[in-house]
Structure 1
Amino acid sequence: MNEYKPIVGRAVTWLTQACLGVAMVLLVLIAVLIVTQVVARNLFDTGLPRVDEAARFAGIAMVYLAAPFLLLRGQHVAVTLLVELLPRLGRRLCLVVGELATLGFCVLTLYGFYRFLLRAGRFATPAMGMPNLWFYMPALVGLIFLAVVAAYRLGLLASGREVEE
């Protein structure tokens, strides 16, 4: 049983680092796409709707794929003023509530995506013609990984171990 947790921890770390690597590539892609679009408009007097849509896709994917890494390391946006004033037990309780809230958010959002994609999944994006299912897939994957990280952090808290804040 003691070997199981480090294996799970390494797997979760590897998974989130892989997502972060993809997010960094997407950030570079966004910059290239935006520069391409500016050059096309200013020098050639033409709009590139596919480039605009591709940049939007990359931006959505980047945000959702970076979030699990940030949550795992405790580097997500958090207001900790009150939590830091609490005794150890109060801090742990706040962390548990926060992880449960994150897990609940993921479940509700994934359900919302499911209901949305039941209808909109068969349609394509206007410029690239990409099916909506594929357009929103990085967000779905990111939310699933975010839920995995929240569950992992809950497991750490339940076993009495520390999580990064």
Structure 2
Amino acid sequence: MSFLEPLRRRVGAVLLWVEQGTVVIGCILIWAIFALILAQMFGRVLFRTGLPWADELARYLHILMVFIGIGYAHRVGAHISIDILVHMLPRVPRRVLHIIVQAAILATSIIVVMGCWMLIQRMGAQRSASLGLPVTAFVTPTLLGFGLLAVEAFCRIFLVPDDKITVEGVEVNTL
């Protein structure tokens, strides 16, 4: 047992908790979008009037769902990838390639987070048309999603040298 094992277990538990939380949030957002669009549809058909803010709110919730789910999709391997070569490689070259890919994901995530932060700083008090929400509310999910993705990539590089995270004796996500 290495000295990193207790840290790996804790990080694995936190990542599992974040993963479960993002699934719950994603389900809530899907149902909220569905309810908004349904209310908009019934309002237009039955009452001949719509909710002027429903489209904007549904769009915002969709943006939130996509960017909050980006870390989850990375964690469970749901992104599109061409991995036939990876599976043919022996263990050590596969791990090296994995570290290179995760480092690229980490670097890209950091660049996006920094760009979002600079954009949020410049936006000031601009408001959306229908809801009157600060426009920064539309950029914040991107910052959060890529922040979670950066944490996930960092953990996969430095805390998971054996290609797996173990939480309470159960293996969580392998390469």
Answering whether residue 84 of structure 2 is matched by residue 81 of structure 1, we say yes
SS in 1 for 2:9: helix
How far 1:18 sits from its partner (Å)? 1.0
Question: Which residue does 2:59 correspond to in 1?
Answer: 56
TM score, norm. by length of structure 2: 0.84
> In structure 2, what is the Cα distance between the partners aligned to 1:108 and 1:56?
25
How far 1:53 sits from its partner (Å)? 0.8
Question: Which residue does 2:168 correspond to in 1?
Answer: none
Answering whether residue 112 of structure 2 is matched by residue 109 of structure 1, we say yes
Q: Percent identity?
A: 30
Q: CA RMSD in A?
A: 1.7
Contact 1:68 1:149 in 2 (8 A): yes
Question: Which residue does 1:67 correspond to in 2?
Answer: 70
How far 1:79 sits from its partner (Å)? 1.7
Answering whether residue 156 of structure 2 is matched by residue 153 of structure 1, we say yes
Query: What is the aligned residue count?
Result: 163
TM score, norm. by length of structure 1: 0.88
How far 1:120 sits from its partner (Å)? 2.0
Structure 2 unaligned spans of 5+: 165-173
Greater helix fraction, Structure 1 or Structure 2? 1
Greater strand fraction, Structure 1 or Structure 2? 2
Contact 1:65 1:138 in 2 (8 A): yes
SS in 2 for 1:91: helix
Contact 1:20 1:65 in 2 (8 A): no
How far 1:28 sits from its partner (Å)? 0.7
TM superposition outliers: structure 1 runs of 4+ over 4 Å: none
Structure 1 unaligned spans of 5+: none
